[in-house]
Structure 1
């Protein structure tokens, strides 16, 4: 959530940034500033009434100490009762205007970084060989049938469309990828967490999923819980309401979770096989930094994910997203995409975002500077990595006529070097 003080100081910059997002409710900025002025006026009235009440209390105390007449005390008490009624009325007005102000602030997304373009993504790099030697490559769902790796029909039978069941070497490969990603993250000084897959509304609000993505999340009405859409949500909430020193930062953490999303998918190849699922596994990394070091941490996270993709020997590219494609809480996002040889398209496998102080304002996540000032932290998150499309790309790009070869770095985990 944007701070009102930031909006007041940077109104024109914010309006230009929101235009990059094709955000159509620019009028909210003026409404927020007007409401904030009204709130200040009402708060000032409330403060004055409290001052008068305090003065009356002091007078009553003084009269009692001097043993003066009861008539004076009674008169002052009546004034105090009247002021309390007035204060209660003003306080109700203040609460109402504060609630309206909060609802309007909740609709404003983060302001894009200056590097972000309005409507076009920036292709920054492309690495890895696209294997043109594979003749008539099969898509991963056909490979799965051939080698019995996963079954979408079983997922549909158990639950519904958008779910899949891994089996045999497919299940082992999935588990090996998870462990490999976690090990790589831990070696890079990320602390591992094992977290709940359910969150309450406060946790969803703190990271910006609620109210923005409320309809995309699975909701358990009886218990008022949401299934997590990403491991970022529970791991960030581990640090909610904390105050660090600048020497404590950066905080680096990683987690493996299943993720649950109600996204309404399109039809055809876009949702076939592992391309889009309602439940999928993901290994997440996050960092919490000072305001001055988040750009450095963002680059560090990008290089880390790049090193993992290179170790898997997959063709990949890095894209900086346009303003219209940014997530609600993100100021800047970089996507890693791997190439699907059979589907002949690029598949997103990681999004790495700097949310600046947008999340930390809701999380009440702060740090004390060396000069003693309290500042909001910056928060960053990234997939390292999302499993389904990595699995799809591995199967498709490593296929031969009779088998699928396993990348060397995974063999110590799978205990087999090919599937046939």
Structure 2
């Protein structure tokens, strides 16, 4: 039986912004803007959407329905998804599976978040914390400090990389320098300021010796949306010129090695990423070297660094050399986070995966303006949630001949 090919036919997102910046705007407003933009991009009406998957982390049950009702109430199934920081791409993953299964021709994937200011914190204290085993295992390998727990998890992964491979604090700083520089050209980015490496390194310490404030993503409000469709739907609506094919998408949770191998990098999800990535490239027939542009989950600069190796963008222990050679930016082997990444663009948890999808679709369609990566033909997405879940995906133009004819 031939596998159904799945295409992204429309994307939309809001500008990410500081939580509570506008007191009169709530998550349904963000979602309405993102969905409306995605529908306009696809050139279809909401009535043609047959199912929807909505992702958010902070909110009550059925927030997805409350958000989607802003654009239409057609009685379609709406699923609500929460997978920590990979929630947006988890919604995308499920939407793809619905189209792939043949149950629907057109499905909406939506992500949104209305967050509180400051570092992330637990909301329930009368039940097991999903991260308690990760934190316990980490405490057996290193001292738990006073800083935000997520920063400590990724900061400690960075410290282990430094100890094992000789990576320097400046390598983490260079990642943040790059992402802030990229964000200058992104109108959707929460922060659009460029900094010198010295400014980044001298900003307040968050995890001593490895992470400063300018190397950490902020909390954010915002939304992203993508409309997925089957090939039959694409052809019926004449959307070949803009359809971006999801070549492959893989999700993984923590393998046993996350805890068994007593590694701070693995506790932070590197083996989870490696597992999903190996599956993705094995099934798609591509290699990491075939990719031109990457949207990578840089919640902290340390995570971007260790993820280079987990994704196969460079060899094990070679991330420092990879950064020094400029192979993670324009003119190098790959352009990683042309959007500015989470560090600059912001990180409304449920929306991040959809924002990554939108950026990569714009890159492949040649619509990224000053951020445009030359000759972008294959794009890689990486969205990580501790606890854990990771989603990796490959995208390419579905009908390159039609796209070129449009130009």
**TM-score for the superposition, normalised by structure 1:** 0.24
Structure whose CA Rg is larger? 1
**TM-score for the superposition, normalised by structure 2:** 0.24
